[in-house]
Amino acid sequence: MVASDSIFQDSASIYDLLYGEKDTISEVEWITSELSAGGVKKHANILELGSGTGRHARAFAHSGFSVTAVEPSGEMLQRATPHERVSYLQGDGRNLKLDTSFDAVLALFHVVSYQASPLEASEFFDTASRHLTSGGLFGFDVWYSPAVLFQKPEQRVMRKENDVLRVTRQAHPSEDVVNSRVDVNYSYTVEDLKSGTISSFEEVHAMRHFTYGEIELLASAHGMSILDACEFMTHREPSRDTWGVWFVLKKD
């Protein structure tokens, strides 16, 4: 995810435990089919912005793609497993400048929604467009405003455990309707099952939600157009029940 390095300073060590059940392989297979429909074939070059611990990047590499995985959090990168077709870089998707063009740029697991202000979103789209070849694709999923405003963010508790750790994460969201943002206040409790030591810390994740029209304006402002928009992992039309919407933009 693209965010301040400090956001994941403490939670990076438990990130893969929290999301270990996420079906990364199925997601990559679905995204690959989306890219193929837009003309991006396997063995293409992909730039992933906000790559986290590299789970998606490695899955794309296993499928034959060459991936440049960019992540701002050094703590997350330290936990990324090497792969011969993945190049890991520490950097911010809002100001990244590489001397390479890519067939596709990806920002997965709500990375674009971490661009919490209009300026940050614009800078991020500029980065994506600048690194795309003509006709290249920018694929990403975001929180969708009609669903966020209709369903309302809720307090939630996540509990995960492995042979070493037991983690409890409580989420307390706070809505900023004027700025189309939800500040998710996370409280973590981590128990070391061997020593019995218990630690706790907090994080605030500022998440922006977007309308179709906002994405359309951002795309147009940065030389791209919307090729597809649907519910992530399905092809259902976005609605008030669709919290996560997948967009594919095409570089002019």
Domains and CATH numbers, the chain: 5-143+209-251 (3.40.50.150), 148-207 (2.20.130.10)
Return the pLDDT at 1: 37
Return the pLDDT at 6: 61
To the question of pTM greater than 0.85 for the whole model, the response is yes
Q: Cα(138)–Cα(71) distance, rounded to whole angstroms? A: 17
Q: Cα(103)–Cα(251) distance, rounded to whole angstroms? A: 10
Per-residue pLDDT of the chain in tens (252 residues, 90 and over written 9): 334 446 888 899 999 999 999 999 999 999 999 999 999 998 999 999 999 999 999 999 999 999 999 999 999 999 999 999 999 999 999 999 999 999 999 999 999 999 999 999 999 999 999 999 999 999 999 999 999 999 999 999 999 999 999 999 999 999 999 999 999 999 999 999 999 999 999 999 999 999 999 999 999 999 999 999 999 999 999 999 999 999 999 999
Q: Cα(26)–Cα(106) distance, rounded to whole angstroms? A: 16
Return the pLDDT at 4: 44
Query: What is the Cα Rg of the chain in Å?
Result: 18
* Pick from 183, 245, 242: nearest CA to 208: 183
